[in-house]
């Protein structure tokens, strides 16, 4: 008897592709449904990501749901209209297909007409994936080339800094030009920042002064030392256009600094005169050559301990006090990062001694191990919160489904009116675009909620499992060197909160299958641990989901 092949359909369209012929969700689904009907392949599920780019797997809730269902063995084959619907990057595509292959699931592309069940099919996948990535990179390069050409002619690309805004200019044969003009109220603030720095004031002083006086950044947030620095280093304020300072910013960030940035005279007016700019540049260069502050000591909790006043991460700080006998004593603390970068008008230091904070965290972990009743109460609370969290999510999901049904009904009504010539074509198109946009938003929300509920519907976590994980976590904290302890803390400690007396209030731990697998389970060569491996022997109970403990 011929085996019945269960199929999962995956479709995706980005916001930019919505209007392109042949890229609509409905067209993709109709084509793939007809294919499955022709070959008598039952469709187990349809996974649709609407308005989502394929350049990464983040935010693609339906893809994540598909991969989870693949691991549960719900289907035998995944089919897409084109390879680039699954992923734009070859590395993402290969990782997805590798996961499917490990679960004995074939991957098939309708348009490219191949499957991954054969060596030639897998080879074709790699080649087509590479071609798809080349196509995307070529488009990106063409766009960059256009931006570079605009920059070379003195035109600005993208957002403008404080002091400027973009307005529509006159129309030409290819579209509408834009013009960068000065916003005088903001320009006065920019001049004030440059003048303060030129007078010898530091970045933190300027940020604090502006925040105290109620000024905000272009995005209506408080000023920080970083935002002040970026303003002072932006040559746009002297009428220049700088472009390509960083390459591939979305992935490399500041590590992608370009060796040949473009710097030309712009078409816009300057806000800062050349003399003031030169003076600030001289001060900036002088201060950049000064030695940076260096803090002695190993700070375990930077980034995960939170300010009790504003919630920002706390960073390393220290004070050096002179004693009566002339000796100096260094005291180390964790202090609010917002205070350190934005000043006292945004927050305060709220410092906590380093030794006290770290010792309290270690004691909290050990305390629940020597008091089984305390740990049992915490586990009971976790399971009760899990149940309590599910109900609101289910209620929200129910509301989303009602809105989806209503939008689909409205869509059918407008289609009926259009077919009966009872509505103007332009009005019909406008209304339909609005409904489709709202429908895409609600369907994306539905996918996210279903994915969240799936994670929370796991079996109640057992006391034995939690105790085993906590024992291993505690053992590693006591036995590992500093770098490994810090890595482990940042992986498992979600956040540490302080009370209004600047004492540790809660230590929130988050365990999941990845941390358990890679850090809290026995290493493959536990008897002969390689340098750098976490020193752990034995085997912990298997963890299937994720759960949070508050100590």
The model's pLDDT over 302-349, given as tens digits with 9 standing for 90+, comes to: 878 888 888 888 888 887 777 777 777 778 888 888 888 777 878 888
Looking at the chain, the whole-number percentage of residues with pLDDT higher than 70 is 73
Residue 248 has what pLDDT? 58
Strand partners, 179: 167
DSSP letters, 29-60, are HHHHHHHHHHTT--EEEEEEEES--SSSSTT-
pLDDT above 50 for 212: yes
How confident is residue 259, by pLDDT bands cut at 50, 70 and 90? low
Task: Give the β-pairing of 77-80 and 106-109.
Answer: parallel
Under DSSP, is residue 105 helix (H, G, I), strand (E, B) or coil? coil
- The beta strands (E) that lie in 106-247 are given as 106-109, 114-115, 164-172, 175-182, 240-243
Give the DSSP letter of residue 311: -
Strand partners, 49: 12
Question: What CA–CA distance (Å, rounded) separates 243 from 492?
Answer: 40
pLDDT above 80 for 518: no
Please give the backbone phi and psi of residue 350, each rounded to the nearest 5 degrees, phi first.
50, 45
**Nearest alpha carbon to residue 217 among 338, 310, 342, 335:** 342
- Cβ neighbors of 372 (< 8 A, separation 6 or more) are 467
Q: Is 338 annotated as catalytic? A: no
Between residues 515 and 311, the one the model is more confident about: 311
Residue 292 has what pLDDT? 52
Question: What CA–CA distance (Å, rounded) separates 244 from 409?
Answer: 48
pLDDT above 50 for 254: yes
Residue 523 has what pLDDT? 43
DSSP letters, 409-470, are HHHHHHHHHHHTT-S-HHHHHHHHHHHHHHHHHHHHHHHHHHHHHHHHTSPPPPHHHHHHHH
Residue 174 has what pLDDT? 47
Residue 42 has what pLDDT? 92
Question: What CA–CA distance (Å, rounded) separates 263 from 152?
Answer: 8
Q: What is the pTM of this model?
A: 0.49
User: Which domains, and CATH codes, for the chain?
Assistant: 7-141 (3.40.50.1390), 164-288 (3.90.1750.20), 305-363 (no CATH), 364-551 (no CATH)
What is the residue-averaged pLDDT of the chain? 76
Question: What CA–CA distance (Å, rounded) separates 407 from 413?
Answer: 10
The model's pLDDT over 76-110, given as tens digits with 9 standing for 90+, comes to: 988 988 877 777 676 777 788 888 888 888 888 88
């Amino acid at each position: 008897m011929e085996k019945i092949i269960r199929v999962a359909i995956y479709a995706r369209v980005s916001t930019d592709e919505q209007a392109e012929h042949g890229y609509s969700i409905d067209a993709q689904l109709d084509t793939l449904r007809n294919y499955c009907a022709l070959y008598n392949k039952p469709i187990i599920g349809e996974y649709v990501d609407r308005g989502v780019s394929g350049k990464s797997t983040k935010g693609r809730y339906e893809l994540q749901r598909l991969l989870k269902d693949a691991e549960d063995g719900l289907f035998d084959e995944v089919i897409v209209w084109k390879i680039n619907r699954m992923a734009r990057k070859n590395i993402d595509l290969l990782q997805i297909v590798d996961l499917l292959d490990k679960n004995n699931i074939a991957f098939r592309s309708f348009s490219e007409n191949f499957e991954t069940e054969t060596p030639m099919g897998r080879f074709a996948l790699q080649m087509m994936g590479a071609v798809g990535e080349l196509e995307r990179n070529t488009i990106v390069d063409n766009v960059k080339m256009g931006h570079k050409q605009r920059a070379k002619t003195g035109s600005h690309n993208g957002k403008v800094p404080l002091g400027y805004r973009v307005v529509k200019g006159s129309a030409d044969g290819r579209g509408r030009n834009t013009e960068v003009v000065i916003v005088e109220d903001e320009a006065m603030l920019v001049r004030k920042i440059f003048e303060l720095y030129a007078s010898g004031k530091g970045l933190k002083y300027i940020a604090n002064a502006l925040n105290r006086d109620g000024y905000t950044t272009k995005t209506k947030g408080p000023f920080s030392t970083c935002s002040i620095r970026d303003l002072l280093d932006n040559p746009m304020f002297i009428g220049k256009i700088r472009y390509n300072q960083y390459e591939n910013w979305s992935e490399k960030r500041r590590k992608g600094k370009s060796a040949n940035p473009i710097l030309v005279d712009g078409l816009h007016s300057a806000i800062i005169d050349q003399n003031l700019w030169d003076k600030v540049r001289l001060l900036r260069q002088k201060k950049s050559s000064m030695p940076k502050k260096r803090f002695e000591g190993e700070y375990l909790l930077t980034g995960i301990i939170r300010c009790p006043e504003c919630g920002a991460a706390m960073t390393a700080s220290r004070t050096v006090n002179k004693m009566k006998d002339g000796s100096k004593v260094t005291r180390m603390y964790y202090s609010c990062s917002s205070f350190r970068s934005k000043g006292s008008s945004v927050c305060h230091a709220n410092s906590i001694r380093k030794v006290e904070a770290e010792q309290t965290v270690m004691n909290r972990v050990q305390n629940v191990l020597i008091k089984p009743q305390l740990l049992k109460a915490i586990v009971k609370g976790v399971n009760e919160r899990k149940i309590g969290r599910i109900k609101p999510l289910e209620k929200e999901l129910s509301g989303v489904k009602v809105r989806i049904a209503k939008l689909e009904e409205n869509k059918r009504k407008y289609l009926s009116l259009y077919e009966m010539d009872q509505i103007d074509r332009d009005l019909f198109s406008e209304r339909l675009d609005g409904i489709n946009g709202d429908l895409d938003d609600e369907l994306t929300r539905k996918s996210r909620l279903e994915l969240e509920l799936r994670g929370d519907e796991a079996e109640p976590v057992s006391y034995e499992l939690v105790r085993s994980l906590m024992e291993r976590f505690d053992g590693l904290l006591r036995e590992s060197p500093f770098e490994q302890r810090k890595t482990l803390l940042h992986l498992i400690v979600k956040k540490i909160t302080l009370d209004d007396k600047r004492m540790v209030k809660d230590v929130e731990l988050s365990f999941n299958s990845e941390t358990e697998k890679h850090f809290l389970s026995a290493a493959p060569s536990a008897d002969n641990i390689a340098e750098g491996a976490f020193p752990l022997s034995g085997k912990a109970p298997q963890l299937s989901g994720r759960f949070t403990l508050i100590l």
